[in-house]
Protein backbone atom coordinates (compact mmCIF):
# COMPACT_ATOMS: atom_id res chain seq x y z
CA UNK A 1 0.00 0.00 0.00
CA UNK A 2 2.89 2.37 0.63
CA UNK A 3 4.05 1.95 -2.97
CA UNK A 4 0.75 3.14 -4.48
CA UNK A 5 0.89 6.61 -6.05
CA UNK A 6 -1.32 9.33 -4.61
CA UNK A 7 -4.17 10.23 -6.90
CA UNK A 8 -6.64 13.06 -6.74
CA UNK A 9 -10.36 12.76 -7.27
CA UNK A 10 -11.66 14.69 -10.26
CA UNK A 11 -13.51 17.88 -9.25
CA UNK A 12 -17.30 17.76 -9.45
CA UNK A 13 -17.94 21.47 -8.91
CA UNK A 14 -17.33 24.59 -10.96
CA UNK A 15 -15.00 27.41 -9.96
CA UNK A 16 -17.99 29.63 -9.19
CA UNK A 17 -19.47 26.99 -6.86
CA UNK A 18 -16.13 26.70 -5.09
CA UNK A 19 -15.91 30.49 -4.70
CA UNK A 20 -19.47 30.62 -3.37
CA UNK A 21 -18.79 27.91 -0.78
CA UNK A 22 -15.53 29.60 0.25
CA UNK A 23 -17.41 32.88 0.75
CA UNK A 24 -20.10 31.15 2.80
CA UNK A 25 -17.48 29.50 4.98
CA UNK A 26 -15.78 32.85 5.58
CA UNK A 27 -19.04 34.51 6.59
CA UNK A 28 -19.90 31.54 8.83
CA UNK A 29 -16.53 31.83 10.58
CA UNK A 30 -16.99 35.55 11.13
CA UNK A 31 -20.48 34.91 12.54
CA UNK A 32 -19.27 32.09 14.81
CA UNK A 33 -16.44 34.21 16.22
CA UNK A 34 -18.83 37.12 16.76
CA UNK A 35 -21.31 34.91 18.61
CA UNK A 36 -18.54 33.44 20.75
CA UNK A 37 -17.23 36.92 21.62
CA UNK A 38 -20.71 38.16 22.55
CA UNK A 39 -21.34 35.09 24.72
CA UNK A 40 -18.02 35.52 26.53
CA UNK A 41 -18.65 39.24 27.11
CA UNK A 42 -22.16 38.67 28.46
CA UNK A 43 -20.97 35.94 30.85
CA UNK A 44 -17.99 38.05 32.00
CA UNK A 45 -20.24 41.07 32.60
CA UNK A 46 -22.76 39.01 34.57
CA UNK A 47 -20.02 37.48 36.71
CA UNK A 48 -18.49 40.92 37.33
CA UNK A 49 -21.80 42.47 38.37
CA UNK A 50 -22.67 39.53 40.64
CA UNK A 51 -19.23 39.67 42.26
CA UNK A 52 -19.39 43.42 42.80
CA UNK A 53 -22.86 43.26 44.33
CA UNK A 54 -21.87 40.48 46.72
CA UNK A 55 -18.64 42.25 47.71
CA UNK A 56 -20.50 45.53 48.29
CA UNK A 57 -23.11 43.77 50.44
CA UNK A 58 -20.38 42.11 52.49
CA UNK A 59 -18.30 45.29 52.78
CA UNK A 60 -21.22 47.41 53.97
CA UNK A 61 -22.77 44.59 56.04
CA UNK A 62 -26.19 45.03 54.46
CA UNK A 63 -28.97 42.76 53.31
CA UNK A 64 -29.87 42.60 49.65
CA UNK A 65 -32.90 44.67 48.68
CA UNK A 66 -35.79 43.66 46.45
CA UNK A 67 -34.57 46.01 43.72
CA UNK A 68 -31.08 44.51 43.82
CA UNK A 69 -32.54 41.02 43.68
CA UNK A 70 -34.64 41.91 40.64
CA UNK A 71 -31.66 43.55 38.91
CA UNK A 72 -29.33 40.61 39.55
CA UNK A 73 -32.02 38.13 38.54
CA UNK A 74 -32.53 39.96 35.25
CA UNK A 75 -28.80 39.99 34.49
CA UNK A 76 -28.53 36.29 35.37
CA UNK A 77 -31.57 35.48 33.22
CA UNK A 78 -30.04 37.25 30.21
CA UNK A 79 -26.72 35.46 30.81
CA UNK A 80 -28.45 32.08 31.00
CA UNK A 81 -30.42 32.77 27.83
CA UNK A 82 -27.29 33.76 25.90
CA UNK A 83 -25.48 30.61 27.03
CA UNK A 84 -28.51 28.42 26.26
CA UNK A 85 -29.06 29.84 22.79
CA UNK A 86 -25.35 29.74 21.96
CA UNK A 87 -24.90 26.09 22.87
CA UNK A 88 -28.28 24.90 21.56
CA UNK A 89 -27.63 26.29 18.09
CA UNK A 90 -24.09 24.94 17.97
CA UNK A 91 -24.84 21.54 16.51
CA UNK A 92 -21.59 19.82 15.64
CA UNK A 93 -23.31 16.62 14.50
CA UNK A 94 -25.33 18.20 11.72
CA UNK A 95 -23.73 19.51 8.56
CA UNK A 96 -24.30 23.24 8.23
CA UNK A 97 -24.47 25.60 5.33
CA UNK A 98 -26.48 25.61 2.16
CA UNK A 99 -25.94 23.77 -1.07
CA UNK A 100 -25.41 20.14 -1.97
CA UNK A 101 -23.91 17.73 0.54
CA UNK A 102 -21.11 15.25 -0.18
CA UNK A 103 -23.14 12.06 0.17
CA UNK A 104 -26.57 10.88 1.20
CA UNK A 105 -24.98 9.37 4.32
CA UNK A 106 -24.56 12.87 5.70
CA UNK A 107 -28.19 13.95 5.66
CA UNK A 108 -29.29 16.46 8.25
CA UNK A 109 -30.89 14.52 11.10
CA UNK A 110 -32.10 17.49 13.15
CA UNK A 111 -31.50 18.09 16.80
In this structure, is residue 85 part of a structural domain?
Answer: yes
* C-beta of residue 53 within 8 angstroms of C-beta of residue 72: yes
In this structure, is residue 66 part of a structural domain?
Answer: yes
Query: How far is it, in rounded angstroms, from Cα 57 to Cα 75?
Result: 17
At 4, give phi and psi (nearest 5°).
-70, 135
User: For every one of its 111 residues, what pLDDT tens digit does the chain have, with 9 covering 90 and above?
Assistant: 556 677 777 778 888 888 888 888 888 888 888 888 999 999 999 999 999 999 999 999 989 889 989 999 999 999 999 988 887 776 554 555 555 555 555 555 555
Which tens digits make up the pLDDT trace of 96-107?
Answer: 555 555 555 555
Angle between helices 15-59 and 66-89 (to 10 degrees): 160
In this structure, is residue 3 part of a structural domain?
Answer: no
In this structure, is residue 47 part of a structural domain?
Answer: yes
In this structure, is residue 20 part of a structural domain?
Answer: yes
In this structure, is residue 36 part of a structural domain?
Answer: yes
**Total-model pTM:** 0.63
Query: How far is it, in rounded angstroms, from Cα 78 to Cα 45?
Result: 11
Domain that residue 66 falls in: 16-91
| Number of domains composing the chain | 1
In this structure, is residue 100 part of a structural domain?
Answer: no
Amino acid sequence: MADEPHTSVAPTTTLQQDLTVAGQRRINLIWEYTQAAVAVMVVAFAMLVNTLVVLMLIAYNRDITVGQTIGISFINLICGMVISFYFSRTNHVAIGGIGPKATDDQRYAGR
